[in-house]
Structure formats: structure tokens, C-alpha cells
Structure 1
Amino acid sequence: MDRRKFFRNGSLFTLGATLLNPFESRALLPATGEAYKNKKAKNIIFLVSDGMSSGTLNMADLYLSRKTGKGSNWLQLYKDQRVSRALMDTASANSVVTDSSAGSSAWGGGVRVNNGSLNVGPSGEKYLPIWQKFKKAGKMAGCVTTVPVTHATPAGFCVNNNSRGAQEEIAEEYHAIGFDVMMGGGNNYFSAAVRKDKKDVYAAYKAKGWQVVRNRNEMMAADNNKPLLGVFADDALPYSIDRRSSRELTDTTPTLAEMTGKAIDRMKGHKNGFVLQVEAGKVDWGAHANDIAAVLYDQVAFDEAIKVAVDFAEKDKETLVIITTDHGNANPGIIYGRDANANFDSIQNYTHTNEWILNQVKPGSTVAQVREMISSANGAPVSEENAKVILSYYDGLQKEEGLYNYKKLPFRAFAEMQKATNSVGWISMDHSADYVELAMFGPGSELLKPFVKNTDLHYLMLQAAEVENKF
């Protein structure tokens, strides 16, 4: 079927004349896209490294190149010219700097909404999320993430809500809609022991035929013929480097790549295909903390999920893989200097995140103990003077604010100290308005223009899958 004729005669414009299909006049792309010209995308896998600045992508590739001799899977797709590539404008309706709920809603609803909301416009208008559209078209749909599965990015593809913070409501909305796979963290929003209303949402899922799994082994053993809810932490999953350094966490917590593989196995046999969102949510959290070990190792874990998705798509030949981020965050980068190479390579010796280190420090810790903790986790101690500065945050003399910094830990101060030995600098601790990287592999990738708005991806997915926008 000619996809352009299908949409010209269909109902792509049912949302109104202002929401035009941005792909009608698409010119021909190079061979990467032309190989799939007019082929239908039966499946879509949408991979999001939340809060990934370009410097994060760059550093992950350099880290892997210098450690293993082989770069990242993402950039190897560029080097091998196997993908269509673009820059994407990530703004929300009320700011050039988006938050994750508005960023995901741009993809999910095809319309820019204000920061903080999920597919709900400023006047209360609701836009049907794209995973619901695909469900109505007969496809399976699911999300996997390293933060609560009720968090902003998965929710933006799935539900309407005035507030991204309504995670208890969102847990119930997923159940009512009837998705096929939901995996990540978020026990706090499902468990009767923790929820404010004491409702046992797990029991509701089980009553509707869902399997509920709570650890890696249960996930691996889950039946691929039943809906799957996997909740592996009270809030977000542990950072990848902390997971790797703990036998208990390694045994009990699945990686993003493992969750991706399991979700694909659950849905790949469906006759009408499937759609799957995969989010490395803690890349964003680590950037908010200027925590290089958190950001870098979680970006590498995301890169492993990319391989799982692309390997499947390469064999399947009916799957569109989309790889991107919703916005930049903190804009980290390697800073020029005589010892930049050796300093950056020192991160290969890190065993824990800054979050883990700073949580080990207590008000009664000594300068010597602080230096030993940091030396053990980073391979080199801080000076006595810097150890005293760190301790001042535990004695009530100083405090540091920041998103996800619930304990007011000295993330910024410690990152500034680390710069002298790892050569990584940061411009802020918050989101940025960068145009971001976007790559596509498989049928539908020929539709991608070199520069797009985030909302354009909503219509591209519908067009690639030949699903009319009539719902």
C-alpha cells in the first residue's frame, strides 16, 4: 500500500486543520530509508534516554571506545549509515525548556501541552495518547523503564492526567485501559501498604489476569501468553553502576536490556503487531545530580537496550525502531586539559554513583572516613579540605537543593571536586532547550525529515504503521 495515498484519503486530519501531517511532501532519503520505502511498520519500539544531552551520548561512546575498543551501539548505527537521523525541537506549550511529561505528551498526543501535564491542554482539552490509539487498532502495547512505570515518560504515551504527580491514579488508569506489559519501579503506587488510600492495586491487576512479578527471576520465568506487570523497586530502580557493584541487586533487579527483551518476547507473536516504549529514566535523575557515574553507566545500559531492539528489528524486518531523548539535562562534557584523557579514563575505575557515596557519609563521619569512602568508590581520595566541605553539609552548615535530591546531599559541590580528576564539567543541574538527536531504523524511517518538532513523531508513527488517526 502507498502510505501517502492511504493517509491522503484517510482521516489523519480529524484533530483539525491546525494539526497537519508533516510528512506528506517528504522527499526521498538516502539508501538507509529507501530500503523500507512504502513498507508498513507492524511493530514500533520507541527508545528514550530521558534527559540525555548530546555530551552524554558523546561521553558514553568515548567511554566504550577507550575501554573496549568499540563504541556505542547508537553511534555505530550512524557510522554504518544504517539509520535516518534528525535533530528535534523539544519545546513544550509554555516553555522552550520542556519537562518530561510535556515532552512525552508531545509524542503521545501529537500536541504540545504545558509542563507538568499529561496529554491535557491548558483549557482542559484531552488528546488521546498514541498507545491507546494503537490498542484500539488491535496492537499490543507496553512500556518498560528504570524509574516508576507510573512516571512522566511512560505515562505520556498512555494516559490523560492534569498532573504528572498523580502516580497512584496513573497506576489504576493503566489497569483500566488494559495494556500488555508494564515494567519498572513504583511499588509505592501499587502496594496497599504504601498507597494513601490503602488500595491493593496489585490485586486488581491479578484479578484481571495479569501476572505480577517483583524480581528478575520472576520476570524471566513469566508466561509470555499473559499480561505482565513488573515492579522491581519502591521508587526508581538502582543506578546501573550501583546494581553492578551489589550481588543482591544484580540478582534481583533486571537490566533495561533484559526488560526490553522480555517485553518483546511477550508481544512479538501478536498477529497485529505491538508498540513498546523503552525509557532509561535515571539518566535524567543522574544529570539532575551532576553524577557522572550515574549518567554514564545508565547511558551505557540504555545502549545495550538499543542493541536488543535493533537486533530484533533486523531479523523481523517489520519493526520501526526510534531512538532519541525528550530533552537535554545539565549538558555535561569533557573539559580540555593536559590530563583530560587520563582523567576521563579514571571513571572506568568507579564502582558507585555519587548518590551512593554521599549516602554513606553521616553527621558523625570523620575526615579520614570520608576520604576513604571516596577513594574506595572513585579510585582516588579528595583532599582533607574538600572532605571537610562535604561534611559541612551534614552538620547543618550548608545545604543543597535540587530535583530528586530528597536528602539535600552535596551533589553539585562533589561534582565540582571530581572535575579536577575526571575532567567532566556541567553547566547546570536542570533541563536545557537543546535540539536533540533522533535516529530511526526500519520501515517508516524514510519518513524522517532532517529537522522535526517533537509532536511530528506522533503522526510519523501512525503513518509508518498505517493506522488512521480517527480515534
Structure 2
Amino acid sequence: MRRRDFFKNGSLAAIGTQLFNPFTPADTIKKKRGKVKNIIFMVSDGMSTGTLNMADLMLQRQQGRHSLWIQLMHENRIKRSFMDTASASSLVTDSAAASSSWGGGVRVKNGVLNIGPNGEKYKPILHKFKDARKAVGCVTTVPITHATPAGFCVNSDSRSMEPIAVQYLDLKFDVLMGGGTNTFSKEGRSDKRDLLQDFRTAGYQVALNRTEMAALTAEKPILGVFHDDGLPYAVDRAQSETLKATTPTLAEMTQKAIEIMQKNPNGFVLQIESGKVDWAAHANDVSALIGEQIQFDDALKVAIDFAEKDKNTLVIFTTDHGNAAPALLSGSKANANFDKIATYKQSNEWILNGITKDFTPAQIIERIEAAQGIVIKPEEALTILSNYYLLGEGGIYNARKLPFQKLAQIQTPFSSVGWAGTDHTAEFVELSMFGPGSELLNPFVKNTDLHNFMLDVTEVKA
């Protein structure tokens, strides 16, 4: 699709008659539109409609308020669209192809980053904005080398994180913050290369905890990695004083990134991802899922508050695809069961990672009750325990093959939340925009349209 085709039949078409109105000169319309200086592109990775819905319901019932995303809808302060998320190889995209659609502007096969079928390399969008002398960066709750940030940053025929970390070294992007210490540390890498030291030698500020993040400045490019893998789920972090002291929230990372990047006089483009929404959906982990979506909403508030004051910032917030299609199900106990989720102290990940094959069914029952107030049956505990004799390694998600789906099925009568599966879905997804340029959004778009949209509203050449 040509760049200008994106605007056909959309907002520009709606004001088209004004362009030919002798009492409203065309240059007046252009001045009203203005040029976008900054873009904050926010991704709640793997967010199905039910995820957005349940997070809002939880906030309504526990705090008497809507999520900010839904509140902005109520107040009619955003432009909204449906987005088709397919990749070049499937109606159901993975995160690498999805991010590449935005980053490179072309649909690629699942599993690759901005690489075409014949090896074509599509220049990632943050390189284009850096060439325009803007500050650029990514913030995420999963490893910073994961597919969604990587799709804005690199070309790769694989989403393997270790080589992506090496590619990041030469980027000199202003901000790279998230999880994934193992991908950069000598101890965690298969090649035993000390990339953390390499980044320091190359002139980066390297932050490894929340305190070090607070001390970062705009003087040098930043690499912040705050946990071995993905950052802890919000529900688990809330139970640990150590985690709260050492690992930043997505909102805190967002605030710090904006604070640093806004100092560039030419503006900035920042991608922000709540990546563990996707992980929780893969795991059918309801308390983790809702907590991560609310954490995304907290970061959205930071972005919207900045944009409201700045007046030159476009905030784009969306997801790359749905995942597992979670939903609150009908039943006489639906309200009470849903409310009980707010009392869960730990995620399913915390529960299952703490179980070994040496556990008894009684110990499993006790662990789940302590974590979530749910009392399962002995035969259900045996079903969970049987999986620990078959644990494996490998894979992007759930490398140990923990029985997440089994536990979720046992939990459904207690939570009234059901799941369509444990993987990505092809549903059209919510796309929202706030700020200048949002008036140009069409009611229905393809994921690749956003690449040229961002270039157009900032008047940056491809």
C-alpha cells in the first residue's frame, strides 16, 4: 500500500470539502494539523479484547474507576480503529512478524525480523527516526532483545535473542530497557561473551537495578536490564519487598525514558511494551494477565500525562495480536469468583515453578491455597504432579513444559474465567491514538499501515 493510500476514505477524506472551500485555504488546514514531534508507541503484547475488558472490570470493582484506556473511550478523547494483524505466512502472526509489520512496513513470515522471502532487508523504523536526528528507544517487561522491541530495531532471519543482543551493541540507541540480563551477561550467554562489559566499553550507561536506573542521565546511550529473563509479574512483585526495591515497574521505566529522551530538541520515538501480558495469556494465568494489563495502563497514564502537557506528542496504543481469547463466563458465581481474583497473592508461574516431583498432593493443595485461596481436590493435585515426571527444556514460552493449562482448567470453576487455548489468535485488535495526528486514523487498518503513518505524521522521509 502506498503511504498516502492509508488516508483515503479516512479523516482527510472527511475534511476534503474544506480543502476546496474558498473560505478555508489549504495552508490553514495544514497549520491546524501540524507536525508531530514525538511518538510513544505502546504495545500490550498478546492483548485479546477479553484482557482489556477484564482489567477494566477489575479496576471498576476494586477501585471504583475505569482503566485509563477505557476512560479515554468514554470521554471520546481518542481515535479508535480495528487492526488486521496477519503475517506473510499466516493469518495468525507471531510477535516477530507483527513487530516487523510496524518496524519495517512489510509483512514478513513468522519467526523473522524485517527480512523478506528472498533475504530482502527492510530498514527498521527506529533507524529512520535516528537518521532524522530524533532520540529513539525501547522499553519492555520482557527481555529487551525479545521480538517486539527487536522488530523496531534490527534485521534478523531468526528471533534468537543472543545474536540480537550483539546487534544492539552498534545501534547506539538512546534507551534500551527491560529484562534479559542473561542475554548480555557472561554467565548467561552460551558463547560466554561479557556483553555487559562490551556495552560499557562502547560508551553505554548500563543499569542492572531500579536504583541504577534512577541515576541514568541523557549524556550517553542506555542499556538497562533488570532481571535474568522477563521482569517478575506485577502480582508476584507486590509480594516481595526485594523485587519492589530492585526491579522497576513499566510505568517507572516509561517515566525515566521520557525524561531522558525529551531532552533531544528534534523529538523522540519510544516503543513501550507490556510483554508479559502475552506470557500470562500463553500460560492461561488470570491473575498475572490482569495485573500485567493494569501495569500497562499505569504506563499509559505516564505517556498520556506527558502528551497532554507537551501538545506535540502522538501516543499510539495497541497490541500485536490476541492470545488465548480469555473471557469471564456466565454463571451464578461469576461476580464473586471474578472478585476473588483480586485476592490472589501469587501467579500460576510462582506456584508451578516452586513445585518439584518430590511434592505430595497435599503439599500442592497447600501451596495453591496459600497463593490464591483455592482448595483443589487430591485427584486434581495428582494431575498436576504427574507432569513433573515429564518436564522438558526448550521453546520460547514455558521451556520447562509446566502444566499451566491443567492448572487453569482446575481454576476455572473458582475464577469463572475460560480460555480458548494457549496461543495467539487472529482476531482484529484494538488500535487507539491520542494527540496530534490521531485525527488521520482510519476505522480499519492493516498492521503495516502504521509504519508509513508514523513517518507521515512526523514528516520523516522513508
Q: Give the TM-score of the pair, scaled to structure 2.
A: 0.93
- SS of residue paired to 1:361: coil
The whole-number CA distance in structure 1 between the counterparts of 2:188 and 2:393 is 28
The whole-number CA distance in structure 1 between the counterparts of 2:320 and 2:143 is 17
- Residue 298 of structure 2 is aligned to residue 304 of structure 1: yes
- SS of residue paired to 1:370: helix
Which residue of 1 is the match for residue 88 of structure 2? 93
**CA-to-aligned-CA distance 1:386-419 (integer Å, 9 cap, x gap):** 12222222245x9999851122211111101110
Of 259, 273, 277 in structure 1, the residue corresponding to residue 253 of structure 2 is 259
Q: Which amino acid aligns with 1:125?
A: E
Distance 1:85 1:389, change over 3 A: same
Which residue of 1 is the match for residue 418 of structure 2? 425
The whole-number CA distance in structure 2 between the counterparts of 1:264 and 1:85 is 24
The whole-number CA distance in structure 2 between the counterparts of 1:394 and 1:312 is 48
Of 419, 426, 441 in structure 2, the residue corresponding to residue 448 of structure 1 is 441
Contact 1:54-1:436 within 8 A present in 2 as well: yes
Q: Which amino acid aligns with 2:228?
A: D
Which residue of 1 is the match for residue 23 of structure 2? none
- SS of residue paired to 1:394: helix
When structure 1 is superposed on structure 2, of 342-351 and 183-192 the one drifting more is 183-192
The whole-number CA distance in structure 2 between the counterparts of 1:36 and 1:279 is 32
- SS of residue paired to 2:170: helix
- SS of residue paired to 2:388: coil
How far 1:466 moved relative to its partner? Answer: 1.0
The whole-number CA distance in structure 1 between the counterparts of 2:146 and 2:392 is 27
The whole-number CA distance in structure 2 between the counterparts of 1:381 and 1:244 is 23
How far 1:344 moved relative to its partner? Answer: 0.5
- Residue 38 of structure 2 is aligned to residue 55 of structure 1: no
Contact 1:288-1:430 within 8 A present in 2 as well: yes
- SS of residue paired to 2:177: strand
The whole-number CA distance in structure 1 between the counterparts of 2:32 and 2:13 is 9
Distance 1:36 1:322, change over 3 A: farther
Contact 1:36-1:443 within 8 A present in 2 as well: no
Which residue of 2 is the match for residue 7 of structure 1? none
Contact 1:36-1:445 within 8 A present in 2 as well: no
**CA-to-aligned-CA distance 1:215-238 (integer Å, 9 cap, x gap):** 001101222332211011121111
Contact 1:257-1:302 within 8 A present in 2 as well: yes
Which residue of 1 is the match for residue 179 of structure 2? 185
CA RMSD of aligned residues (A): 2.0
- SS of residue paired to 1:297: helix
Which residue of 2 is the match for residue 322 of structure 1? 316
Query: Across the two proteins, how many residue pairs are aligned to each other?
Result: 448
The whole-number CA distance in structure 1 between the counterparts of 2:264 and 2:394 is 47
How far 1:36 moved relative to its partner? Answer: 9.4
Of 336, 342, 351 in structure 2, the residue corresponding to residue 348 of structure 1 is 342
Which residue of 2 is the match for residue 13 of structure 1? none
Which residue of 1 is the match for residue 216 of structure 2? 222
Return 5+ residue gaps in structure 2 as ranges. 16-28
- Residue 207 of structure 2 is aligned to residue 213 of structure 1: yes
Which residue of 1 is the match for residue 271 of structure 2? 277
The whole-number CA distance in structure 2 between the counterparts of 1:257 and 1:368 is 39
Contact 1:402-1:429 within 8 A present in 2 as well: no
Q: Which amino acid aligns with 2:403?
A: P
Contact 2:218-2:263 within 8 A present in 1 as well: no
Contact 2:7-2:13 within 8 A present in 1 as well: no
The whole-number CA distance in structure 1 between the counterparts of 2:417 and 2:279 is 17
Distance 1:246 1:430, change over 3 A: same
The whole-number CA distance in structure 2 between the counterparts of 1:251 and 1:133 is 37
How far 1:384 moved relative to its partner? Answer: 2.0
The whole-number CA distance in structure 2 between the counterparts of 1:208 and 1:30 is 50
The whole-number CA distance in structure 1 between the counterparts of 2:292 and 2:373 is 20
Of 8, 11, 16 in structure 2, the residue corresponding to residue 27 of structure 1 is 11
Q: Which amino acid aligns with 1:271?
A: P
Which residue of 2 is the match for residue 409 of structure 1? 402
- Residue 385 of structure 2 is aligned to residue 391 of structure 1: yes
Which residue of 1 is the match for residue 40 of structure 2? 45
Which residue of 2 is the match for residue 366 of structure 1? 360
The 5-angstrom pairing of residues 124-135 of structure 1 reads 124-135=119-130
Q: Which amino acid aligns with 1:96?
A: L
Q: Which runs of 4+ in 1 moved over 6 A?
A: 398-402
Distance 1:401 1:376, change over 3 A: farther
- Residue 106 of structure 2 is aligned to residue 123 of structure 1: no
The whole-number CA distance in structure 1 between the counterparts of 2:188 and 2:317 is 35
The whole-number CA distance in structure 2 between the counterparts of 1:468 and 1:69 is 46
The whole-number CA distance in structure 2 between the counterparts of 1:358 and 1:124 is 41
Q: Which amino acid aligns with 2:413?
A: A
**CA-to-aligned-CA distance 1:163-221 (integer Å, 9 cap, x gap):** 111x2221122221210000011122211232222222222221232110000011012
Of 199, 202, 212 in structure 1, the residue corresponding to residue 193 of structure 2 is 199
- SS of residue paired to 1:391: helix
The whole-number CA distance in structure 2 between the counterparts of 1:263 and 1:400 is 35
Distance 1:403 1:226, change over 3 A: closer
Which residue of 1 is the match for residue 170 of structure 2? 176
The whole-number CA distance in structure 1 between the counterparts of 2:30 and 2:72 is 15
Contact 2:315-2:433 within 8 A present in 1 as well: yes
Of 426, 449, 457 in structure 1, the residue corresponding to residue 450 of structure 2 is 457
Distance 1:263 1:19, change over 3 A: same
The whole-number CA distance in structure 2 between the counterparts of 1:426 and 1:382 is 19
Distance 1:173 1:401, change over 3 A: closer
Distance 1:221 1:112, change over 3 A: same
Contact 1:243-1:249 within 8 A present in 2 as well: yes
Q: Give the TM-score of the pair, scaled to structure 1.
A: 0.92
The whole-number CA distance in structure 1 between the counterparts of 2:375 and 2:147 is 37
Distance 1:422 1:363, change over 3 A: same
Percent of aligned positions that are identical? 58
- SS of residue paired to 1:421: helix
